[in-house]
C-alpha cells in the first residue's frame, strides 16, 4: 500500500497544471527577461491542453511565452527539472508462458472492482491472448517490472480460413489511468494483429463508454494517415475504399471505420456553413436511422410472431418522437466526436 502511495505521489509530481506552467511576459528592457516578478499566468489553457488544463511527463514545467511590448514579437522556451523517460513495456503472451496462469488469476481479481459486468475467463482455452503493460523501475540497481494494465483478446474463427480477434476485457490500474497507457495498449494490439495475414478484423465484446472513447481516438489516429480518408474523399461520403483500406491496413471492421469516417469528416466540415453542416447532419442521421428502418421492416414481417406489448411500443413511437430521438442522438454523437478531435489535436 505504501509503495502504491509513493508511486502515486511520484507520478503526481509529473502532472502539471498548465495554467500555472505557462508564464507570459511583456518585455520592455533586456533585464525584464530575468525578472521573475514581471511574468503572469493565463486564466485558460484548455484550448491548447484540453479540458483538464494539465500535461503529464514533466516535473517543474515552465512554458515561457514572452512578448516584446511594442511589436509583440515572441520568445518561446520550455524548462523543466526532469522528464519522464520511456519506461513502459508492452508484452504479448498466452497461457503457455510458465507462471502466467497463476499471475493472471491474481491480476483478474482487479476486474471486479473496476468493471461493472466483469467475469473471469477460462484461461485454459488456448484461444485467449494477453497483452500486458509494465512499468520498468530499478530496485537496488536491478530492473523490476510493475503491473500497469492489461487486455484479453479471444481469437474467434471467421469463415472460411480467417480469425477474428475479439477484445474481451481491458483494465489500466487507477494510479496509471489518464496518462495515455490505454491508448498505447490498444494501438499496440491493433498493430500486433495487423502484421498477421490470417486476421480478418478486430471486434470488441460489449464495449463500455470509456472503451469506445478510447477506440474512437486510436482508430481515428491510425486512419487519418490513410489515403482513403483524405479531406476530399471524406467530403464525398463513406465509401467501399475506406472500408477496404481500414480493414486491410489496420484490421478495422466496417462499423468502426464508419465511425472513424464520421469523426474525421467532422474535422474537415465547416459547421458554420449551412450547406456543409446540413450535409454532414443528414449523412450521420441517415446512419443513425438504420435501426428504425430495420425495426419497421422486421415489425411488418414478423408482426404475427411478436409479443403484443412490443408491437404497441413500436406503434407509439410516432414520427415526431423518432425525429426528436434522432436529433438528440445526433447532438450527443457530435459532442463525442468533438472530444475525440480535441484529443487528436493534442497528439
The yes or no reply on residue 64 touching ligand COA (CB under 6 A) is no
The yes or no reply on residue 210 touching ligand COA (CB under 6 A) is yes
Task: Restricting to residues 143-202, name those near ligand COA by CB under 6 A.
Answer: 169-172, 177-183
Return the SS3 of 266: helix
Please tell me what DSSP assigns to residue 76. E
The least distance separating ligand COA from the CB of residue 113, rounded to whole angstroms, comes to 9
| Residue (42 or 180) nearer to ligand COA, CB | 180
Query: How many positions of this chain bind ligand COA (CB under 6 A)?
Result: 24
The yes or no reply on residue 54 touching ligand COA (CB under 6 A) is yes
Tally the C-alpha atoms within 13 A of residue 48's C-alpha that lie toward its C-beta: 11
The yes or no reply on residue 213 touching ligand COA (CB under 6 A) is yes
Distance CA 48, CA 148 (A): 28
The yes or no reply on residue 56 touching ligand COA (CB under 6 A) is yes
Distance CA 287, CA 266 (A): 15
The yes or no reply on residue 343 touching ligand COA (CB under 6 A) is yes
| Residue (123 or 326) nearer to ligand COA, CB | 123
The yes or no reply on residue 114 touching ligand COA (CB under 6 A) is yes
The least distance separating ligand COA from the CB of residue 94, rounded to whole angstroms, comes to 20
| Residue (111 or 242) nearer to ligand COA, CB | 111
Q: How many helices (H) and strands (E) does the chain have?
A: 14, 13
The least distance separating ligand COA from the CB of residue 156, rounded to whole angstroms, comes to 17
The least distance separating ligand COA from the CB of residue 177, rounded to whole angstroms, comes to 3
By beta carbon distance, the residue nearest ligand COA is 182
Give rounded-to-5 percent helix, strand, coil for the chain: 50, 25, 25
| Residue (256 or 343) nearer to ligand COA, CB | 343
Q: What is the phi/psi pair of residue 20, to 5°?
A: -90, -35
User: According to CB under 6 A, which one of 150, 211, 229, 280 is a site residue for ligand COA?
Assistant: 211
The least distance separating ligand COA from the CB of residue 187, rounded to whole angstroms, comes to 9
The least distance separating ligand COA from the CB of residue 115, rounded to whole angstroms, comes to 5
Span near ligand COA by CB under 6 A; candidates 40-48, 50-58, 267-275, 277-285: 50-58
Burial of 251 (0-12, 13-18, 19+ CB in 10 A): buried
Return the SS3 of 270: coil
Q: Cell digits for 327?
A: 436529433
Task: Restricting to residues 233-292, name those near ligand COA by CB under 6 A.
Answer: none
Catalytic positions, please? 205
How many Cβ atoms sit within 10 Å of the Cβ of residue 201? 22
Please tell me what DSSP assigns to residue 199. B
CA angle 329/235/188 to nearest 5° reads 75
Start-end of H helices in 115-239: 181-194, 209-223, 231-235
Return the SS3 of 204: strand
Footprint of ligand COA (CB under 6 A): 52, 54-56, 114-115, 169-172, 177-183, 208, 210-211, 213-214, 339, 343
Amino acid at each position: 500500500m505504501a509503495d502504491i502511495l509513493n508511486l502515486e505521489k511520484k507520478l503526481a509530481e509529473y502532472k502539471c497544471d498548465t495554467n500555472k506552467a505557462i508564464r507570459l511576459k511583456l518585455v520592455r528592457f533586456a533585464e525584464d527577461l530575468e525578472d521573475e516578478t514581471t511574468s503572469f499566468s493565463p486564466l485558460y489553457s484548455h484550448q491548447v491542453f484540453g479540458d483538464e488544463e494539465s500535461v503529464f511527463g514533466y516535473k517543474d514545467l515552465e512554458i515561457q511565452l514572452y512578448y516584446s511590448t511594442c511589436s509583440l514579437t515572441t520568445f518561446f522556451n520550455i524548462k523543466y527539472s526532469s522528464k519522464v523517460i520511456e519506461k513502459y513495456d508492452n508484452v504479448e503472451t498466452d497461457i503457455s508462458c510458465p507462471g502466467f496462469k497463476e499471475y493472471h488469476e491474481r491480476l483478474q481479481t482487479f476486474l471486479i472492482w473496476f468493471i461493472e459486468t466483469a467475469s473471469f475467463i477460462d484461461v485454459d482455452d488456448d484461444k485467449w491472448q494477453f497483452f500486458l503493460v509494465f512499468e520498468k523501475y530499478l530496485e537496488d540497481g536491478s530492473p523490476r517490472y510493475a503491473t500497469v494494465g492489461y487486455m484479453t483478446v479471444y481469437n474467434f474463427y471467421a469463415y472460411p480460413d480467417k480469425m477474428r480477434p475479439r477484445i474481451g476485457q481491458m483494465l489500466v490500474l487507477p494510479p496509471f489511468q489518464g496518462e495515455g497507457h490505454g491508448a498505447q495498449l490498444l494501438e499496440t494490439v491493433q498493430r500486433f494483429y495487423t502484421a498477421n495475414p490470417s486476421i480478418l478484423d478486430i471486434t470488441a465484446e460489449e464495449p463500455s463508454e470509456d472503451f469506445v472513447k478510447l477506440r474512437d481516438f486510436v482508430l481515428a489516429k491510425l486512419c487519418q494517415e490513410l489515403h482513403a480518408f483524405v479531406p476530399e474523399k471524406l467530403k464525398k461520403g463513406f465509401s467501399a475504399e475506406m472500408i477496404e483500406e481500414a480493414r486491410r491496413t489496420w484490421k478495422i471492421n466496417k462499423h468502426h471505420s464508419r465511425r472513424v469516417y464520421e469523426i474525421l469528416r467532422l474535422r474537415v466540415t465547416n459547421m458554420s456553413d449551412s450547406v456543409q453542416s446540413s450535409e454532414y447532419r443528414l449523412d450521420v442521421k441517415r446512419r443513425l436511422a438504420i435501426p428504425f428502418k430495420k425495426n419497421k421492416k422486421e415489425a411488418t414481417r414478423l408482426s404475427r410472431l411478436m409479443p403484443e406489448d412490443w408491437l404497441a411500443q413500436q406503434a407509439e413511437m410516432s414520427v415526431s418522437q423518432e425525429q426528436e430521438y434522432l436529433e438528440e442522438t445526433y447532438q450527443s454523437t457530435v459532442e463525442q466526436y468533438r472530444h475525440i478531435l480535441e484529443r487528436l489535436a493534442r497528439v
